Amino acid sequence: MKMFGKTTKLLVATAMLAGLSTVSLAKDKVYKWKLATTWGPTLSPFIDAPKNMAKLVKEMSNGRLIIRVDASNKHKSAFGILDMVKGGQYDMGHSASYYWKGKDINLLPFTSMPFGMTAPEQYAWFYYGNGMELMQKAYSKHKVLSFPGGNTGNQMGGWFRKEIKSVDDLKGLKMRIPGFAGEVMAKLGLTVTNIAPGELYTSLERGTIDALEWVGPGMDIKMGFHKIAPYYYTGWHEPATELQFLVNKKKFNKLPTDLQQILKIAIRVSAYDMYIQNYQMSAKAWSKMIKDYPNIKVKSFPTSVMAAMKKANKELLVEKTKNKPLLKEILDSQASFQKEVREWTKMSDYLYLKDNL
């Protein structure tokens, strides 16, 4: 009880004198929560975001809210996060919203969209546009609260064994590229497959696949793809992949107001921090990659390929939003926000960088 100071000691002594053997204050009730992540226990920086969040909550709440973070090897259900938080088996989750597009297509746009916003643009949409409002609206039928949970920044377009000079070069290629971007690539004539992370390196080495997309240098370096596929294409499909924290709404509502606020702020700061952490990891990893493997060639897809991707993407969006008013509302909100904010990005960071590369 030493943290309580003199007055409490006196009070405790008095209470003891009065015959009470143990003393606890309702105000000091300890909440013990569990959080399930999609990620393995060492998948930095993804796993760091929930771990940092839990650490901050513990420190700021003086131990009144303790959150245990379970990696996927513990709960064995990497893609069951939404269901487990919804069902209350877990109080919280950490994953990516676009993984739930099969269950609920309205949850697709909150991670990142092809040719979409960059990280600061997208944070502006979430926090100072109507992104947060639309995200809660989409998640409300699942009785789950959703918050931005960390950004990877711009993801690279992937590792290719051969250079891509035209749309024809893409046709027939086998590529590991999941999600919406995979659908775009399939429209361009690629054979899109999904392969477990542990088998990716061997599949690429043996030619079972010709190309693959992972994240960016910070996370790619451990996978070793740069040793066997020299063409590293710049990104188009996930310009600002935002992860999400999910919170069971009922459980959240039972927390005292100060703990609710501590939780929300710890979530918000851990998300921003992951963006910055991955920025530094990517810079460091890229510097090492290119030093150790000077033959890596950074390429952007040629204009003709990019145009074909944009066209396929546009057509897919029209298909997907047919009779889906909420999905359309979310995508329209993103598109109009992006149109306005991109003008600022162009005249600020873009034109500055152009003269300072």
What counts of helices (H) and strands (E) characterise the chain? 15, 11
Cα angle, residue 157 at apex, residues 131 and 151 outer, rounded to 5°: 35
Residue 196 identity (one-letter amino acid) = A
The mark string for 256-285 relative to a second copy (x by CB under 8 A, - otherwise) is xxx--xx--xx-xx--xx-xxx-xxxxxx-
Minimum distance, C-beta of residue 202 to a second copy, in the bound complex (Å): 27
Name the DSSP letter for residue 8. Answer: H
Residues composing the chain? 357
* Token digits of residue 9: 């000691």
Q: Which of 72, 112, 146, 154 binds a second copy (CB under 8 A)?
A: 154
Contact between 123 and a second copy by CB under 8 A: the answer reads yes
CA distance 113 to 136: 18
In the 8-state DSSP scheme, what is residue 130? S
Whole-angstrom Cα distance, residue 25 to residue 337? 48
Q: Which is nearer to a second copy, 11 or 30 (CB)?
A: 11
Identify residues 288-307 at the interface with a second copy (CB under 8 A).
290, 298, 300, 303, 306
**Site for a second copy contains 194 (CB under 8 A):** no
> Cβ distance 233 to 164 under 8 Å?
yes
Q: Which is nearer to a second copy, 20 or 171 (CB)?
A: 20
Provide, rounded to whole angstroms, the least separation between the CB of residue 303 and a second copy. Answer: 8
Which positions from 42 to 81 touch a second copy by CB under 8 A, shown as an x/- string? --------------x--xxxx-------------------
Establish if 21 lies at the interface with a second copy (CB under 8 A): no
CA distance 227 to 342: 36
CA gyration radius for the chain?
23
Give least dist CB 17 to a second copy, A: 7
Of 118, 146, 248, 313, the one binding a second copy (CB under 8 A) is: 118
Structure tokens at 190: 């690629």
C-beta closer to a second copy: residue 100 or 126: 126
Establish if 334 lies at the interface with a second copy (CB under 8 A).
no
Q: Which stretch binds a second copy (CB under 8 A): 139-147, 166-174, 180-188, 252-260?
A: 252-260
What sign has the CA pseudo-torsion 159, 162, 168, 171? negative
Binding residues among 156-185 for a second copy as defined by CB under 8 A: 156
Q: Which of residues 97-116 bind a second copy (CB under 8 A)?
A: 115
- Nearest C-alpha neighbor of 215 from the set 166, 289, 291, 157: 157
Least CB distance from residue 54 to a second copy, whole Å?
13
| Calpha distance 13→3 (Å, rounded) | 15
User: Which residue lies nearer to a second copy by CB, 103 or 284?
Assistant: 284
CB of 291 to a second copy, least distance (A): 11
Q: Rounded to the nearest whole angstrom, what is the least distance from the CB of residue 301 to a second copy in the complex? A: 8
Footprint of a second copy on 131-150 (CB under 8 A): none
132-to-95, 140, 164, 181, 338 alpha-carbon distances in Å: 17, 12, 38, 24, 15
**Taking a C-beta distance cutoff of 8 angstroms, is the pair 212, 200 a contact?**
yes
Sheet holding 92-95, edge to edge: 65-70, 31-37, 92-95, 242-248, 144-151
Question: At closest approach, how far in Å is the CB of 52 from a second copy?
Answer: 11
Q: How far is the CB of 149 from a second copy (least distance, A)?
A: 14
Residue 345 in contact with a second copy, rule: CB under 8 A: yes
Q: Which of 42, 87, 314, 351 binds a second copy (CB under 8 A)?
A: 351
Q: Judged by CB under 8 A, does residue 20 bind a second copy? A: yes
